[in-house]
Amino acid sequence: MLDQIVQWLTEHLGKIFSGEIITFIISMIPLLELRGGLLAAKLMDVPLIKAIPLCIAGNIIPIPFILLFIKSIFRFMRAHGILVKLIDKIENRAMKKSAKVEGSEFIGLMLFVGIPLPGTGAWMGSLIAALLNIDIKKAIVAELIGIIMATIICSILWYGLLGLVV
């Protein structure tokens, strides 16, 4: 599914924006994030040396905003009856995944963000960190290391071993 969404975005946005801009934008989108950004870069022939910093930057930008403001945004939305069911669903999903992070906050969060599996990544990691009240500095460092781990893994997948097939 990730590859289909990324392919659709690259086909349609590729008519308007450069591969570098699309790579950066896709890296900021929840669910797609860095994995999608690197795949888009590969599909659009963006060299890996350019793709990596674009994907990391795009994936990092939302983190502090999520950590600082998501609980306030959710409170405001609940108080005004805006998308309450969706907020509940997102929070419940995050709390179910939080068990992977709770015991060893730093390492758990780093691995949660760094191992590129469906439902993991910087967006969900930031939400979990915010809901668990993990120290913001600790969360940002853990997520940054996790993003670098995910970058290495996805770079090997998209540009290395599986890159020969994709």
Least confidently predicted of 63-67, 95-99, 132-136? 95-99
Q: How confident is the model at residue 51 (pLDDT cuts 50, 70, 90)?
A: very high
pLDDT value, residue 1: 79
Domain ranges of the chain: 2-60, 62-151
Residue 128 above 80 pLDDT? yes
pTM of the full structure: 0.89
Residue 129 has pLDDT above 50, yes or no: yes
Does the pLDDT at position 164 exceed 60? Answer: no
Three-class SS string for the chain?
Answer: CHHHHHHHHHHHHCCCCCHHHHHHHHHHCCCCHHHHHHHHHHHCCCCHHHHHHHHHHHHHCHHHHHHHHHHHHHHHHHHCCCCHHHHHHHHHHHHHHCHHHHCCHHHHHHHHHHCCCCCCCHHHHHHHHHHCCCCHHHHHHHHHHHHHHHHHHHHHHHHHCHHHCC
